[in-house]
Structure 1
């Protein structure tokens, strides 16, 4: 387990799980649940609109931009608002942090999966047989950014990472011995979490609640309510359960 965009390039693995609970991977899971193909994008400017046009996709706008427009037809980055949309097949999801991490992991040769609290168990179950065959896994909690653009470790992403890792260990107790100290720390943090209260009262949860997006936090706090496994294929995330991705060449790491 390693943090943020820099951590995404630090630990090569066969499978890489990006976790951004508030809110990139939560929004991603809600979209995939609704049958929407998601194109993550690094920038929130005119380039995002051009990217959406290129792929015949709808562009998700920021939470506050959607509110200011007062038009329900505008799809927002808010997972709560996305849970109510109809008629969307392709979505461009601008997320400088989550998208940057996802593509950095993909560039390393890993198969990239998006996880949050909602689908942590499904992701763990999907990974379990691959790990049993010898595949390596790195889980990357995205974290947030301070005003000077340095990484702010976010406890909700630590919980999300721990929930995935706990699912793997629960499936095969022998894996606990091969987990890194960082991975075991994430599992311990997850097992100590009290949902939904802790998510509502952590720093990121308070920030969203204070500006009127408590519903987003409540949706993000739902644990194991989703069976989707968002898998990055080329430029978009799709549900791995309906895909047959090629098996990666497994990396053998000396003890």
Structure 2
């Protein structure tokens, strides 16, 4: 049977990895660098209240109205249809206390497992050190393990290998968090951390030139790629509190 026991710090991919970690009762860290996690961290850093919303569920606008929130729209629909999107820049000027429903096919979808785990955090490059600090404190206080999830992207046309598309920006974001953790790592987590340690001086260039980065730049959102690569820019760690993301104490 596949397992990363007995190691306390583990790494896995996508929705399946999230489901397996939740079934074990691990602390979960959701890493979706381009761009759910970066957007969520940016919003919470500036006082926003984020409601992750799986993109294939019911109309997010209906949910937003039911809780008195605004719904984030597609990047190219700002400002014609709304103020906020997955572009971190749209969330930098958010008014404290503003509620935003943030749909996403990857990070928000993985976040739906929050009610099955003791703690769920959202982390990435921009808050890697802060995320690790929060996790380390919990590992010291409780007999818990942590799984850091690289959400990955999705192929538009799934193949025999499924729809998960490996995304190095998520791998490096997960590796950054894992590299700051002193607790024993599984081989999978150790290699992930090593990838970040080996390349940390070139992180911005790697994110800029990776497949996902080039894809986003081609759509006109180069600023989003730049924002996501700013290592340890923020000290806020969003965690799931009931149905929304709030700053970790």
Deviation at 1:122, TM superposition (A): 0.3
* Equivalent pair of 1:29/1:119 in contact (CA under 8 Å): yes
User: Separation in 2 of the partners of 1:123 and 1:87?
Assistant: 22
Question: Residue 157 of structure 1: which of 159, 170, 173 is its match?
Answer: 170
| 1:81-160 correspondence to structure 2 within 5 Å | 81-86=90-95, 89-104=98-113, 106-133=114-141, 134-149=143-158, 150-160=163-173
* Equivalent pair of 1:13/1:138 in contact (CA under 8 Å): no
User: Separation in 1 of the partners of 2:96 and 2:119?
Assistant: 29
User: Separation in 1 of the partners of 2:77 and 2:14?
Assistant: 26
Unpaired runs of 5+ in structure 1?
170-174, 242-255
Unpaired runs of 5+ in structure 2?
1-10
The equivalent of 1:244 in structure 2 is none
The equivalent of 2:196 in structure 1 is 190
* Equivalent pair of 1:57/1:92 in contact (CA under 8 Å): yes
Question: Residue 53 of structure 2: which of 38, 41, 44 is its match?
Answer: 41
The count of aligned residue pairs is: 230
CA RMSD, aligned part only? 1.7
User: Separation in 2 of the partners of 1:44 and 1:138?
Assistant: 25
Deviation at 1:20, TM superposition (A): 0.1
Quick check: 41-50 or 106-115, which moved more? 41-50
* Equivalent pair of 2:47/2:96 in contact (CA under 8 Å): no
Is residue 76 from structure 1 mapped to residue 85 from structure 2 by the alignment? yes
Question: Residue 13 of structure 2: which of 3, 24, 35 is its match?
Answer: 3
| 1:166-177 correspondence to structure 2 within 5 Å | 166-169=179-182, 175=183
Is residue 217 from structure 1 mapped to residue 225 from structure 2 by the alignment? yes
User: Separation in 2 of the partners of 1:131 and 1:33?
Assistant: 24
What is the TM-score with the length of structure 2 in the denominator? Answer: 0.87
Deviation at 1:116, TM superposition (A): 0.9
- What SS class does the counterpart of residue 121 from structure 2 fall into? strand
* Equivalent pair of 2:43/2:94 in contact (CA under 8 Å): no
Quick check: 93-102 or 78-87, which moved more? 78-87
User: Separation in 1 of the partners of 2:112 and 2:95?
Assistant: 28
User: Separation in 1 of the partners of 2:55 and 2:210?
Assistant: 27
What is the TM-score with the length of structure 1 in the denominator? Answer: 0.85
Deviation at 1:87, TM superposition (A): 6.5
